[in-house]
Chains A and B, each alone.
Chain A
Amino acid sequence: MDYCLETHLEQVFVTDLKLLVLRGIPRWIPETDYQRSIVLRELIRRGDITFSRRQRSRVSKPPQKARVHSARMSRPSKEQRRLPPVESVEMTPEQLQALLHKTAQDAAQGAVKALLPTLNAVLANQRVKPDPVEVAPAPDMADLEDRVGRAVEKALGGALVHRASGSPSGTTGALGPADPLFIPTGIVSQDPSDVISVQSKASESGGLGDAAEALRKLRKEKKS
Chain B
Amino acid sequence: MSEHYGRGLDVGTMNLVCAQRTGKDKVETSRVRDAFLDLDAGAKKMLKLSGVNFINRGEDGMIVVGDAAMEMANVFGREARRPLSQGLIAAGEIDALDVLGVMIKNLLGEPKVAGEVCYFSVPAAPVDDPSRDIVYHKGVFERIVTECGYTAVAGNEAMAIIYAETAAEGFSGLGISFGSGMCNLAMSVSGMEGFSFSVARGGDWIDAGAAKATGSTQSRMCALKEKGFDLTAPEGREQEALALYYKALIEYALDQTAKEFLKIKDKFSLPRPIPIVVSGGTSLAGNFLPFFEETFEAKRKRFPFEISGIRQASDPMNAVARGLLIQAIQDHDEEE
Please tell me if the beta carbons of B167 and A210 are within 8 angstroms of each other in the complex: yes
Closest residue on chain B to residue A197 by CB atoms: B53
CB of A170 within 8 Å of the partner chain: yes
Whether A183 touches B55, Cβ cut-off 8 Å, given contacts A197-B66, A203-B29, is no
Residues of B within 8 Å of A159, CB to CB, are none
Partner of B334, one of A187, A196, A214, A216: A216
Docked pose: A204 CA to B315 CA in angstroms: 11
Encoded as 1 (CB less than 8 Å from any A CB) or 0, chain B from 206 to 228 comes to 00000000000000000000000
CB of A89 within 8 Å of the partner chain: no
Partner of A188, one of B105, B133, B326: B105
Encoded as 1 (CB less than 8 Å from any B CB) or 0, chain A from 210 to 224 comes to 111111101110100
B39-47, B135-143, B174-182, B244-252: which lies at the A interface?
B135-143
The number of inter-chain residue pairs (CB within 8 angstroms) is 160
Closest residue on chain B to residue A50 by CB atoms: B267
Please tell me if the beta carbons of A42 and B330 are within 8 angstroms of each other in the complex: no
Closest residue on chain B to residue A201 by CB atoms: B29
CB under 8 Å from chain A, chain B span 1-58? 21-22, 24-32, 53, 55-56
Partner-A contacts on B (CB < 8 A): 21-22, 24-32, 53, 55-56, 65-68, 94, 97-98, 100-107, 125, 130-136, 139-140, 143-144, 147-148, 163-164, 167, 170-171, 190-192, 195, 197, 263-264, 267, 314-315, 322, 325-327, 329-330, 333-334
CB of A171 within 8 Å of the partner chain: yes
Partner of B27, one of A171, A185, A196, A203: A203
Encoded as 1 (CB less than 8 Å from any B CB) or 0, chain A from 15 to 32 comes to 000000000000000000
Q: Number of A interface residues, CB 8 Å?
A: 47
Residues of B within 8 Å of A212, CB to CB, are 326-327, 329-330, 333
Please tell me if the beta carbons of B170 and A196 are within 8 angstroms of each other in the complex: no
Closest residue on chain B to residue A215 by CB atoms: B330
Please tell me if the beta carbons of B163 and A211 are within 8 angstroms of each other in the complex: yes
Q: How far, in Å, is B177 (CB) from chain A's closest CB?
A: 17
Docked pose: A200 CA to B66 CA in angstroms: 13
The 7 closest A-B pairs by CB, nearest first: A212-B329, A188-B147, A211-B167, A188-B101, A187-B101, A200-B30, A183-B139
Residues of A within 8 Å of B107, CB to CB, are 198
CB of A194 within 8 Å of the partner chain: yes
Q: How far, in Å, is B99 (CB) from chain A's closest CB?
A: 9
Q: How far, in Å, is A176 (CB) from chain B's closest CB?
A: 11
A-B contact pairs, 27 of them (CB 8 A): A47-B263, A169-B130, A171-B125, A174-B133, A174-B135, A181-B136, A184-B94, A184-B143, A189-B102, A194-B105, A195-B53, A196-B68, A196-B103, A197-B67, A198-B32, A200-B30, A200-B31, A202-B22, A206-B27, A206-B314, A206-B315, A208-B27, A210-B167, A211-B167, A212-B326, A212-B330, A213-B333
Docked pose: A213 CA to B55 CA in angstroms: 41
Residues of B within 8 Å of A175, CB to CB, are 135
